[in-house]
Amino acid sequence: MSYNRIGIPRAFVDLISYNLATGWSEPTNITSFRRGGSTAVSLVSGSGGIIELFDMKPSNHITIERENKEFYIQYDTEFATDALAESSFLAILNHNFYSSCVVFNVDISDDTTFPVYPTSDTDIECITGNNGSEFWFQSGLGLGWNSGFAGMKIKIKDPSDDDNDGWYTVDNISGDKLFVAETLNADTEIRDITFYNTTTRVTTEGNYTDVINAGVGTSTGEINPLQNGWTLMTFPTVTVNNKYLKITFTDDNGYSKDFEDDVKIGSILYGEIVDWTHSPELGVVTTYDYDGTNLHNSIGGSTYSTSTHLGQPDWAVVTPWTFNTAPDTSGYYFNQRAGRMSHSMKFKYLSDSDIFTYNQSSSTTNQFFDDDSSLHSQFYQRILGQHLPFLFTIDGTSGITGDYGLFRLDDSTFKSTQVAHRIWDIDLKITETW
């Protein structure tokens, strides 16, 4: 929307930094390998390690050698309950993906191998076996079955005998046969079978929303950022099969090619969107604080100043939060906003359920941790007060880069005022951070 026109605010709350801060996750939960999963990713000497991508400081970028070819970064939430690992956005800040010809895809799964099963209809002959039922696959289908299919769900439609219609559980694979735990009628031909994946490729066109610089690539399931800078995508909340996150980075010309340049990445944020129920009241105060400057008077009365900083530190190849297709515009200080932005907003007439959880001492997931309607649990709790930064926009529908930034709470106190029966007011004061 720009012009600092306040709409309905939206926060993007990072799950990984929250889990690291609370001690649930360890650095070992984050791994990175080249294609095939056996060779570690090589970083340019002195650029730090992969874990620095999750310190919420995008200016602190790492540099990955172009000769790695395709590589991936994987995160294990260690959550066994689907509701704990839910996600609805991914942001990659401070990158040079355009200059290095990087495309990427994002997979979420309960299976560390991220299997992708066939989804097209398949003609299969079915005969009864000793282990429930077995499917004989027609020769030459090339479906690439393996033991990773065990436990997946399939749904079949039998045109010759509707007694076989329904859901089935894959038990095991043996040669060209797939065994299920349930029993089917013998000597029938199944012509309509649907495979339900345990992997969601959220970057498939139609599965996600391009918010900032997340254009569709030429290959299915790829995102191709058309500029250096940063990328933000949202997607419907992944509510099942979401234990693992995998981001795969590939040269636009194929996985066997070196990248055009060393790949630079500052931060990766992954988690859930938090939307306020309505716009703030009139009287929003937006401030730019040119902090870091001290004034001094000389003996003769002249005034001079010293500054520890004039604003955010440089990003790798662009000025902060901007875009460019040039190889490096990070020194274009005339194009960089100075000062530290803050917003002070008041939200009135929120229902108690919009702010508070049903039971903040409950171990029942949807009563506290995953109470999606509660600002206290989904926002204040997830950022641990002032401890963690969050990506924020003054308008959740905006695609203007200047409407976004990393912020922290200005006040360590969560405070809400009751103004009527089950109706509350709440203030939000946030300050830009880097």
Q: Identify the pLDDT of residue 166.
A: 73
Q: Say how far residue 179 (Cα) sits from the centre of its chain.
A: 36
User: Looking at the structure, do residues 210 and 95 belong to the same domain, yes or no?
Assistant: yes
Token couple for 296 = 């001094």
What is the domain count for the chain? 3
Domain membership flag for residue 85: yes
Whether 420 and 24 have beta carbons less than 8 Å apart is answered as no
417 burial level (CB within 10 Å; 0-12, 13-18, 19+)? exposed
Q: Are residues 21 and 103 in the same domain?
A: yes
Q: Tell me, yes or no, whether 1 lies in a domain.
A: no
Does residue 4 sit within a domain? Answer: no
Query: In sequence order, which residues have a C-beta less than 8 Å from that of residue 55 and are 6 or more positions away?
Result: 17, 267
Residues 306 and 416 in one domain: yes
pLDDT in tens, 37-76: 999 999 999 888 999 999 999 999 999 999 999 999 999 9
b/e string for 181-214 if b means 16 or more Cβ within 10 A? eeebeeebebeebebebbbbbbbbeeebebbbbb
Question: What is residue 199's predicted lDDT score, i.e. its pLDDT?
Answer: 86
Domain boundary among 275, 304, 336: 275
- 240 within domain boundaries: yes
Regarding whether 60 and 17 lie in a shared domain, the answer is yes
Query: Is residue 401 domain-resident?
Result: yes
Is residue 150 assigned to a domain? yes
The answer on 343 and 298 residing in a single domain is yes
Task: State pLDDT tens for residues 302-323.
Answer: 999 999 988 899 999 999 999 9
> 412 in a domain, yes or no?
yes
The answer to whether 305 touches 296, Cβ cutoff 8 Å, is yes
Q: Looking at the structure, do residues 85 and 149 belong to the same domain, yes or no?
A: no
Beta strands 177-180 and 166-174, pairing class: antiparallel
Domain with 240 in it: what CATH number?
2.60.120.260
* Structural domain includes residue 5: no
Same domain, 94 and 242: yes
Helix/strand/coil (H/E/C) assignment for every residue in the chain: CCCCCCCCCEEEEEHHHHHHHHCCCCHHHEEEEECCCCCECCECCCCCCHHHHHCCCCCCCEEECHHHCCEEEEEECCCCCHHHHCEEEEEEEEECCCCCCEEEEEEEECCCCCCCCCCCCCCEEEEEECCEEEEEECCCCCCCCCHHHCCCEEEEECCCCHHHCEEEEEEEEECCEEEECCCCCCCEEECEEEEECCEEECCCCCCCEEEECCCECCCCCCECCCCEEEEEEEEEEECCCCCEEEEEEEECCCCCCCCCCCEEECEEEEEEEEECCCCCCCCCEEEEECCCEEEEECCCCCEEEEECCCCCCCCCCCCCCCCECCCCCCCCHHHCCCCEEEEEEEEEEEEHHHHCCCCCCCCCHHHCCCCCCCHHHHHHCCCCCCCCCEEEECCCCCCCHHHEEEEEECCCCCCEEEEECCEEEEEEEEEECC
Structure tokens that stand for 50 in this block? 């992969």
Say if residue 207 is in the same domain as residue 343: no
At which of 235, 251, 275 does a domain end?
275
- Picking from 252, 275, 298, the residue at the C-terminal end of a domain is 275
Distance between CA atoms of residues 224 and 245, nearest Å: 19
Same domain, 72 and 145: no
**In which residue ranges of the chain is pLDDT below 70?**
1, 116-163, 172-179, 185-197
Same domain, residue pair 312 and 427: yes
User: In the numeric block, which tokens belong to residue 95?
Assistant: 């990158």
Indicate whether 270 and 316 sit together in one domain: no
**Rounded CA separation 417/207 (Å):** 40
Domain extent at residue 224 = 10-113+200-275
Q: What is the pLDDT of residues 259-296, one digit of tens each?
A: 999 999 999 999 999 999 999 999 999 999 999 899 99
Quote the pLDDT of residue 315: 96
Q: 239 and 204, same structural domain?
A: yes
